[in-house]
Amino acid sequence: MDTALLSTLSSLSASQKTCLGTGKILNVSDLLLVAPTEIAKQCKITLTEAQNIIGLVCKAYVCQPRSLTDIQHEHDEMFTTGDTTLDTALGGGIRTGMLWEVVGQSAAGKTQWGLQLSLTVQLPKTMGGLSGSACYLTTSAKLPTNRLAELSRMHPLLSPSLCGLSDVQTLSTTNIPLLLHVLSVLFPKLIADHSNPPAKPIKLLVIDALAELFHSSDKTTTQTLVQRSRNIYEISSLLHSLASRYRIAILVLNEVSDAFDRGYNADTSSDLIYNDQSRWFGRADSVPGENRKEASLGLVWANQINVRIMLSRTGRRRYLDEVRSAVNKLQKVDSDTAADSHMEAMEENATLIRRMSVIFSSVAPPLSLDYIVTVEGISVLSDVSIPREIQQTMPSAPQPLAATSTAMTTVLADTSNPEALSQVSPLDVGCAEDEGAGEVLQVDEWDAYWEQNEEDAYNTVDLDSLLPELNPQHN
């Protein structure tokens, strides 16, 4: 509705359309987001005429009431992410009719999410899919088709016969006007073309990545911020309209920026400060260092999305279970030298551990999980478990790192023992070393002496006897 052209409204007269064209007010958002006095000034008409035009446009786009009996038959569909643990954490999988955001730093796995979901949505409904197809919009880089084909071959749930590149439509949108045109004109036409068999219906739209369209070298001014907010509102309004009208899932990949904690200032007013509040909806804080990044595009965009998922690089590595079992077999058969050389080779290929945090969601509680990205795609680590309460009713968010077992706590308590570190099961060795580094340092004896004797030292010293030595002219 917001991007609908006013020239197509039959309720407006030809003279009214001409006046709006003179003031360069072309669509509904241009008319409703500007004060009537400003419209009258731009179009060179009276205030009464401007208010009359606004009233006619509002009547033309008024929402008709609907009966609850009609709405109750509508339901959102869900499709799997390709990992059962991840599906449970997200409230059952990826739901249609919603706007999902995956935000994270470079190499955190955002594009892997988009590629994997573009394939899992094609699965039959009996396997957790929707028997649908996907549309992948890129803003800078091209669609990595080689990786997409590799996922379809290597993922245990996928196969080229069920999921293929032919059901992933792609288009490059390098600027904001082009993206708005695609969302308002081309994409609805694509959905209509795929609505009839044997074509698979469009069930997923991926935008990779939205924040790149707002990169600019121009100086930031009030005008540029207002224009950016207007563009974000127009894009999000189109996305919500597409998601609800066509019952599709929309996944938007976003970037992060550095977050600086300026500390609490007691002298500030009682008004809510964005800096203090953004950490609740723009950052994650489940592992050390995760809160140093926050989602881009600010509060305007955060108010538009239904789910925000943050991906982080932890810097930790882990040897997969199958690698450890292979090393154990090698140690039994080969010599110690061969086993050591094999282990050194494995250290270089240890899998990087990444962190996923559900910051907020309308269908699932906040949660944090460790995951890895391999040739098979994204998968949550096997030793991570979802609390039973969340699996059944999902009443509230669990405590961070709630999946850590008591055995891990025991090991971390004695990090000075090298054998204990080698037996870490729930977390990786890098995490145990980081925790062990936080031990309390030894108290300096000299500092302890002065803390205990500072007052006594000054009270017991005879300054009068020392004064002649310090000042020879005193006598």
Which of 118-122, 306-310, 408-412 shows the lowest mean pLDDT across its residues? 408-412
Residues 6+ apart with CB under 8 A from 24: 30, 42
Residues 264/257, Cβ–Cβ less than 8 Å: no
Residues 392/345, Cβ–Cβ less than 8 Å: no
pLDDT at 475: 47
State mean pLDDT over 1-14.
Answer: 78
State mean pLDDT over 44-56.
Answer: 92
pLDDT at 168: 95
pLDDT over threshold 90, residue 172:
yes
Q: How confident is the model at residue 453 (pLDDT cuts 50, 70, 90)?
A: low
pLDDT over threshold 60, residue 192:
yes
pLDDT over threshold 80, residue 273:
no
Average pLDDT over the chain, rounded to an integer: 76
* 197-246 tens-digit pLDDT: 888 999 999 999 898 898 877 777 888 888 888 999 999 999 999 999 99
User: Amino acid letter at 453?
Assistant: N
pLDDT over threshold 80, residue 467:
no
Which of 249-258, 272-281, 371-380 shows the lowest mean pLDDT across its residues? 272-281
Q: Is 122 exposed, middle or buried (0-12, 13-18, 19+ CB in 10 A)?
A: buried
pLDDT over threshold 50, residue 401:
no
pLDDT at 252: 95
Residues 88/237, Cβ–Cβ less than 8 Å: no
- Helix, strand, coil in percent for the chain, rounding step 5: 45, 15, 35
* 404-448 tens-digit pLDDT: 333 333 333 333 443 333 333 334 434 434 444 444 444 455 555
State mean pLDDT over 6-33.
Answer: 87
State mean pLDDT over 326-342.
Answer: 46
Residues 6+ apart with CB under 8 A from 215: none
CA Rg value for the chain: 30
Exposure b/e, 313-336, CB count within 10 A at least 16 = b = bbebbbbbeebeeebeeeeeeeee
State mean pLDDT over 34-63.
Answer: 90
Q: How confident is the model at residue 74 (pLDDT cuts 50, 70, 90)?
A: low
Residues 6+ apart with CB under 8 A from 338: 330
Q: How confident is the model at residue 331 (pLDDT cuts 50, 70, 90)?
A: very low
Cα–Cα distance between 444 and 457 in angstroms, integer? 19
